[in-house]
Structure 1
Amino acid sequence: MATKRTTAPKAARNPVPAEPAKCPPCGGTGTVAATVRVGRKRRPVGQQDGLCLNCFGTGTDPES
């Protein structure tokens, strides 16, 4: 007759930590593109990188 297992398998005892979810606006990079506007008519001339205000540059979703 087989003996009963008294402990959980090793995989169940030491689960692998899940990766944190990526921030949706920046895609996990922590930066977003901001359009640069110049002139009286405020025409767009380019883009520059800015800090993501949703995750404050961490790249992880603050809701998870």
Structure 2
Amino acid sequence: MATKKKTTAPAPPSCSVCQGSGEVSHTVHVGRNRRAVGQQAGLCLNCLGTGEAPTD
């Protein structure tokens, strides 16, 4: 009995903005002089959090 050859689809390319994580960091500003106090994680708007490169 012959065995079937398994074929796998190639992995989709990762997003260039978030490097495939789906999150990007944004600087948080506070006060009148807009002083930077830290960073906050946010959703990647290029891939909408999927981590895969968008297709045209």
Normalising by structure 1, we get a TM-score of 0.74
Deviation at 1:37, TM superposition (A): 0.3
Deviation at 1:43, TM superposition (A): 0.9
Task: Write out aligned runs for 1:1-64 (5 A).
Answer: 15-63=7-55
CA–CA distance in 2 between the matches of 1:16 and 1:30?
Answer: 24
Which 4+ runs in 1 deviate beyond 6 A? none
Q: Identity over the aligned pairs, expressed in percent?
A: 53
Deviation at 1:16, TM superposition (A): 2.2
Deviations 1:7-29 (A, max 9, x none): xxx76xx5421000000010000
Normalising by structure 2, we get a TM-score of 0.83
| Higher-Rg member (1/2) | 1
Number of positions where the alignment pairs a residue of Structure 1 with one of Structure 2: 53
Structure 2 unpaired stretches of 5+? none
Deviation at 1:58, TM superposition (A): 0.3
CA–CA distance in 2 between the matches of 1:32 and 1:55?
Answer: 11
